[in-house]
A and B are shown apart, each in its own frame.
Chain A
Amino acid sequence: MRFAHSSLVAAIAVLAFSPAVAQKKANRPARDHGKQAIEVALKKLVATEKMLEKLKPKQKVHDRGKGSIENGLKAALSNARRDALKKLLKQNNAAKSNSFKNPKVRPGKVVWHNGFKRATSKADASGKPVLLFQMIGRLDERFS
């Protein structure tokens, strides 16, 4: 009995590992499992993701336009500019109040033309010579 069992096992082993058997296996066409084997699993996955997505609260994004960004920036800039201008004016006024103010006076009793060009054009018409008075300082200031 023991001999019969062991010989049977040996026979099966030979058959399983024989080259002919291997060749037969290689030649056998692949079994078509069908797309279901892959698709079903994938479908299940997608469905799960969708469900999860549905469960999330929806946040609507409104298109505000450029004004929301620009207006704020413009306001900030104009405020900064206004502040800077105020500071500059304050400094300037302080400087002016410290500096000497030359009092204005009447430039004598002569009736002066408003500039040399004006005087020459008047002289062209009147035939009179032009008198140009040059000075350091101003004729209409007290200290000159």
Chain B
Amino acid sequence: MLFSNDKIANYINATFEPAWQSVRKSAIVRIDFGNGKTVTRTLNGNIATYICTADGIVLDIIPGVYDPVKYLERLEQAKLLHQWAMQPGRRGKKLTAEQRRKRARLFVNHYHTQQVKSIKNRKEPRVIVEAKMMTIFGVEQTMKLVLKSSLKGKSAGRVARDVSRGRSTNNKPIALPPNLSSRIGKLTPNMLKDDSRYNETVRRIKVHELLAKTGPVKPSAITKKVYKEILNTDLDDPYLGLGKVLFGSYPFKDGGK
């Protein structure tokens, strides 16, 4: 599990103020084989990680299940995103609550609109890069946050070093993986990687489109929409989308007549 991973858990504890929330009770399948053996599994679960300001405004959403490496990268981007949006005011003054809200309003709209354009035009999103600039005297200046085109196979850190050294970036589109349905059972590493790729491409586009459209909102305002339109799980459906599968070809649905 993600939060049992030391690297991820330590990074979250150090960087964020974390909280978890259950949106619905899980659907559990229990098969009793009649010989004392039972198997218990969950059905159609899904997750979403919201990155918010101290006022509860959603800056970004990490949709679905990720492999640990990709999830950590996403969290690093989320931290830079918050830093970029909430940069201190003039002369390093801390932002007031009103200034934070104003910034969030402007930032959310700008960032996600840019990402939608980038994905549509370049077939890939942009990454936020923390670039440390060196002066001619070799003194390291404070970081500069920029939105740069991503590099396939390269981490944001590598991109940052390239930007700092003035190297050009190599833009390549990320291939869209096939549509993945939910599974019963433990996710294997390959499944996680496939899920991560799908989340990073198909689902992330939907996240950007949603947040560009809604503007600054709190998580409660968009939870059902996120689950239904992005994670393909209708929280209001009593059978969580499995009604057709369960009852469509069930021979005894009419009481065995």
A residues sitting closer than 8 Å to B (CB atoms) are 100, 102, 107-116, 118-124, 126-139, 141, 143-144
Is the CB–CB distance between A133 and B18 below 8 Å?
yes
**Known contacts A108-B4, A110-B3, A143-B26; A137/B20 CB under 8 A:** no
Write the chain A residue with the least CB distance to B56: A120
**Known contacts A100-B40, A108-B4; A130/B26 CB under 8 A:** no
Is the CB–CB distance between B22 and A119 below 8 Å?
no
B residues sitting closer than 8 Å to A (CB atoms) are 1-6, 9-10, 12-13, 15-28, 30, 40-42, 44-56, 59, 75, 78-79, 81-82, 86, 94, 97, 219, 223, 233, 235, 240
- Show 24 A/B contacts (Cβ-Cβ < 8 Å), sorted by A: A108-B3, A109-B6, A110-B18, A120-B52, A123-B54, A124-B97, A127-B54, A129-B15, A129-B54, A129-B82, A130-B16, A130-B51, A131-B12, A131-B16, A131-B19, A131-B78, A132-B49, A133-B20, A134-B23, A136-B22, A136-B23, A139-B20, A141-B26, A144-B26
**Known contacts A100-B30, A137-B42; A130/B9 CB under 8 A:** no
Write the chain A residue with the least CB distance to B42: A143
Residues of A within 8 A of B233 (CB): 136
**Known contacts A129-B17, A129-B59; A135/B52 CB under 8 A:** no
Given contacts A110-B18, A136-B22, 19 further A-B contacts (CB under 8 A): A107-B20, A110-B3, A129-B16, A129-B53, A129-B78, A129-B81, A129-B86, A130-B50, A131-B51, A132-B18, A132-B49, A132-B50, A133-B49, A133-B50, A135-B46, A136-B45, A136-B233, A139-B3, A139-B22
What's the Cα separation between A143 and B235 when bound, in Å? Answer: 18
Is the CB–CB distance between B94 and A127 below 8 Å?
yes
What's the Cα separation between A124 and B86 when bound, in Å? Answer: 12
Residues of A within 8 A of B235 (CB): 136
Residues of B within 8 A of A112 (CB): 18-20
Across the interface, B54 reaches (CB within 8 A) one of A114, A120, A138, namely A120
Is the CB–CB distance between A102 and B28 below 8 Å?
yes
**Known contacts A113-B17, A119-B19; A131/B25 CB under 8 A:** no
What's the Cα separation between A137 and B47 when bound, in Å? Answer: 10
What's the Cα separation between A112 and B13 when bound, in Å? Answer: 8
Write the chain B residue with the least CB distance to A126: B17
Which residue of A108, A110, A112 has the most chain B CB atoms within 10 A of its CB atom? A110
Which residue of B22, B24, B51 has the most chain A CB atoms within 10 A of its CB atom? B22
What's the Cα separation between A102 and B27 when bound, in Å? Answer: 11
Across the interface, B55 reaches (CB within 8 A) one of A100, A111, A120, A126, namely A120
Shortest Cβ distance from B75 into chain A, in angstroms?
Answer: 8
Is the CB–CB distance between B21 and A108 below 8 Å?
no
